[in-house]
Structure 1
Amino acid sequence: MRGKVAVLAAALVLSGTAGVASATPDVREPVRVATFNASLNRAAEGELLADLSTGDDEQARAVAEVIQRSRPDVLLVNEFDYVEGGAAADAFRRNYLDVPQNGARPVHYPYAYTAPVNTGVPTGHDLNRDGTVDGPDDAHGFGHFPGQYGMLVLSRYPIDTEQVRTFQTFRWKDMPGALLPDDPETPEPGDWYSAEVLRTLRLSSKSHWDVPVQVGRRTVHVLAAHPTPPSFDGPEDRNGTRNHDEIRFWADYVTPGKGRYIYDDDGRRGGLPAGERFVVVGDYNADPFDGDSTDDAARTLLDAPRVHDTRPASAGAVAASLLQGGANGDHRGPARLDTADFSDDQPGNLRVDYVLPSRGMRVTGDGVFWPVPGSRLDHLNAASDHHLVWVDVRP
C-alpha cells in the first residue's frame, strides 16, 4: 500500500483543476495517445524541481513546445524524475505547458499520475560484480538517486486513481521462463544472480503501471513502462535479458490466459481481463530489427494477439538517417519508423518508442514528431534524443 499512499497524495496535489467540466474534451473526437522520452532527468535529486520552478529552463521549454505542437490528450513522459507529492509534475504543467512556448498554444492537463519507481532504490547486492554494493548499477533500476528517470502520465480525461495497478515490486524470478542472465564462466544456465539476489531483485527497472483513463463511458488502460537499455553490461547480458522480460511482461498481461502469474503491489493477481481496451506506451529500448536488444524482445510485444501496431512514421526520420549516415546505412528496419536519434556510429537511429492500441479500437491517424532537418521546427529535434510518438484512436 505504500506506493498507493504516495500516489493518492500526488493525485490530490495534481488534480486541483480536475473539477472544471470544460477542461474535458469532447468524447466524440478521436483521442490522441502519445509517449515522449523527454530526457527531463537530472544528475542530482531535487535539480529537476528547481529547474521547473523557474519557467526559463531552455530544455523544458523545448519539451513543452513539442507537446504543445503535438497536442496529445493522454501522454506518458519518460525520464521525468519522480518527486514525492507530485511537485515537479505540477511545476512543469504550471510553468511550461500552461504557458505558450515560441508561439505554440498552451495545453492544459487537469489530470496527472506519478508514482515511485525502482531507479536508485538500493538492493544491497553487487549486481554488476564490481566489488561494491552501493553504486547506481546495484540499485533495482540504474539510478544515482531514488526516482531518477521516473515517469509521468498527463491526461485531459479523468484518471481513475483508485483502480491504478502498479507492479514496481514484482520479482523477476516470478515470471515463468524468465530469461535470467547467464554467467559465461560457469556451466550452469541463468546463474549470474545468486538465489539470494533473486529473492528480492525486481523485474521493472522503473515500474509498470496500468493507469485507467475514463473516456466518456469507456475505460482505456494506459500501460506505461520504460525497460532498461539492453546495453551497458557484459557477456552475461544482464540488461539485454531484463529488457526482454520487461517487454514480455506487457505481452503476457494483455494476452488472455498468460498473465495469471502476475501480481501487483497490492497483491492482486492476474492480467488484464479479456475485452478491456488498452494502449501500451513508453520507451522500450528495443527495435524490432536493429540495435542491441535480444532478437525477439520488441516482437514479443508487437506480435501479441491483442496488440495493434500501426507503425507511426515521419519524413524527418528518413531525412535524418540519410544526412547522418553511419550505422543507419546498414539497418534492416525502415528509417521512417525510427523514433530515437542515437549515435551515428553505433547503434544509429532506432525505433524504440511505442504507442500500441488494442485491437478493436479504430485508429484514425498516427505519427512521429520529427521535424525535417532545416524546417521551421527543426530546433525542437534537440529537445531530446527521442521523439514524441502519437496514435489517434476511437475507444
Structure 2
Amino acid sequence: MYPAALLRVAAGLAVALWLAVGMAAAADLRVAAYSSGLARKGPGLLLADIAGGKDAQVAAVVEVIAATRPDILLLLDFDYDMDGLAMRALADLLRARDLDYPYLFALKPNTGMRTGLDLDGDGRANGPRDAQGFGYFPGQGGMALFSRYPVEAAGVRDFSGLLWAELPGATQPQVDGRPFPSAEAQAVQRLSTTGHWVVPVRVGETTIRLLAFHATPPVFDGPEDRNGLRNRDELRLWTLFLDGALPGVPAPDGPFVVLGNANLDPADGDGRSAAMAAFLADPRLTDPMPRSEGGALAAAVQGGVNATHRGDPALDTADWDDAAPGDPGNLRVDYVLPSADLTVTGAGVFWPADGPMAETVAAASRHRLVWVNLRLP
C-alpha cells in the first residue's frame, strides 16, 4: 500500500515537521501515548506481521514513532504475549531507526480474559464481549511501555484486578432495579477494560510515576449504559488514587503523568463528557492542550458529524467516521497529562495536515500520537 521508498521520504518530512512544532531541549523529556491499532484477531499474528517485514501498517507505525522520537512511549492496542516477543521485535525495528528503547514493560491485560459468564447481557457466554475486556483471545489489544529510562519494576502497582464493585462509589448498571446483566456477572466484573498501571520510571535523579490506562469505549451497549458507566469509573479510579481514597493505597508522592486512551472527549461524543472535563480541570494536573493542524483541517474538510461538535477540532486525537447519523466523528480521547509540579515545554498531536506523512499517519491508525515535553526539576 505504501512502498518503503515513500515511507522513507515521509519520515524525512516528518522529522522536519517535528522540529517545526518544537523539539525537546536536551534537558527535556518527551512522553507520548499512541493507540497504535496493532491488535490482531489471533495470538501470534502481530509478531508474525512485525517479523515478516512486509506489513504496511507496522511500517507506518514505525515511521510515526521514529518521526516523533518519544523518550517514553505508551503503546496502546498492542497485543500482549507472555515473553514480550512482539515488543522486542518492534523495538528492533525502532533501533534500526536510531531510536533505542532498552527498557520494555508490559503486564497481562484484562482484554480477552474469559469469564464463562454472560457479561454483556446478550444471553450468550464466552463471546469477545463476555471477557473482562473485549477481546477475541487473552492479551488482544494490550498496553506496552517503551522507555529510554529504567523502569523500577519493584515499585509497580497494578489495579487491573480490582473488581468494579469494589471501587468506592462505583455505579454499576441496573435494569428495573436489578443488576444488569446479573448479580453473578457483577460479582466477577473487573473495572479495568485493559489495565490500570502505576509504573515508576527513573530519569536521572527523578522518579516519575506513569499512570497508564486504556478505558472501554462508552458505546456498544444498551439503555442500561453499561459501557458508559464503566468508562466513567475507569477514569474516576485515577481521581480516587490521587485523593488517597483507594483502600490501603497511598496517594502518589512526587511527579506523575496520566497517559493513555480514556475513550472520552470532554465536549463531544456519546460518553459522559462532564467526567472528562472535570478530570482535565483537576488542579493537580496540567492539560497541555496538544494541538495539530491536521485535526483542524480534517474536521473542516470532512464536515458531517464534525460540524456539530463543540470542542476545538485541533485538539482531536482520533479520526472516526463522520458521514452518517450516529457516527462519532473526530474526537479527543488520547491524553498525556503531567502533574502540576512538572513544567511543560511543548505538546502536540502528530497529525500532519497534508503531504506523504499525512498518508502514513492515516495508514498507521485511526488514532494520532500525542506527545508532551517536560522539563525535569
Number of the residue aligned with 2:209? 221
Letter in 1 for 2:314: R
Pick the aligned partner of 1:319 from 289, 297, 300.
297
Structure-to-structure mapping, 1:292-307, within 5 angstroms: 292-307=270-285
Match of 2:237 in 1: 249
1:88 corresponding residue in structure 2: 86
The residue identity in structure 1 corresponding to 2:144 is L
Shift in Å at residue 195 of structure 1?
A: 3.0
SS in 2 for 1:359: coil
Query: Sequence identity of aligned pairs in percent?
Result: 47
Question: What is residue 21 of structure 1 aligned with on the other side?
Answer: none
* Counterpart amino acid of residue 294 in structure 2: G
* Residue identity matched to 1:206: T
Q: Which of 366, 373, 377 does residue 392 from structure 1 map onto?
A: 373
Residue of structure 2 aligned with 1:59, choices 44, 52, 57: 57
Residue type matched to 2:233 in 1?
Answer: D
Deviation, structure 1 residue 28: 6.0
Instruction: State the shift of 1:221 in Å.
Output: 0.5
Count of residues paired in the alignment: 350
| Letter of the 2:80 counterpart | Y
Work out which of the residue numbers 196, 213, 218 in structure 2 matches 1:230.
218
Counterpart among 257, 261, 281 of residue 279 in structure 1: 257
Matched, 1:355 2:336: yes
In structure 2, distance between residues paired with 1:42 and 1:208: 22
Q: Distance in 1 between matches of 2:52 and 2:370?
A: 28
* Structure 2 contact 118–181 (Cα < 8 Å) conserved: no
Q: Which residue of 2 aligns with 1:10?
A: none
Counterpart check, 1:156 vs 2:142: no
Q: Are residue 383 (structure 1) and residue 364 (structure 2) matched?
A: yes
| Matched residue, 2:249 | 270
Q: Which residue is equivalent to 2:173? A: 181
Moved over 3 A (4+): 374-378
Counterparts in 2 of 1:107-186, with a 5 A limit? 107-183=99-175, 186=176
TM-score normalised by L of structure 2 = 0.89
Instruction: For 1:324 and 1:382, locate their aligned partners in 2 and report how far apart those are by CA, in whole Å.
Output: 17
Structure 2 equivalent of residue 201 of structure 1? 189
Structure 2: stretches of 5+ with no match in the other structure: 1-23
Matched, 1:329 2:304: no
Asked if structure 1 preserves the Cα contact closer than 8 Å seen for 2:264 and 2:273, the reply is no
What's the CA shift string for 1:240-259, capped at 9, x where partnerless? 1100000111122123x4x3
TM-score in terms of structure 1 length: 0.85
Question: Which of 270, 283, 289 is the matching residue for 2:267?
Answer: 289
Give the match's secondary structure for 1:254: helix
**Displacement, 1:67?**
0.5
Kindly indicate whether the alpha-carbon contact (under 8 Å) linking 1:251 and 1:300 is maintained by their aligned counterparts in 2. Answer: no
For residue 6 of structure 2, what is the aligned residue in structure 1?
none
- The reply on whether 1:373 has 2:354 as its aligned counterpart is yes
Q: Shift of the alpha carbon at 1:339? A: 0.5
8 Å Cα contact 1:27-1:215 kept in structure 2 = no
Residue deviations 1:242-278, cap 9 Å, x none? 00000111122123x4x333xxxxxxx31433x4210
Distance 2:194 2:319 in 1: 22
Distance 1:253 1:295 in 2: 20
| Residues 265-299 of structure 1, C-alpha deviations (whole Å, 9 max, x = no match) | xxxx31433x4210011111000000011132312
1:56 counterpart SS class:
coil
Once residues 57 and 271 of structure 1 are traced to their aligned partners in structure 2, the CA distance between those partners, rounded to angstroms, is: 44
More helix by share: 2
Amino acid of the residue matched to residue 73 of structure 1?
Answer: D
Whole-angstrom CA distance in 1 between matches of 2:195 and 2:346: 29
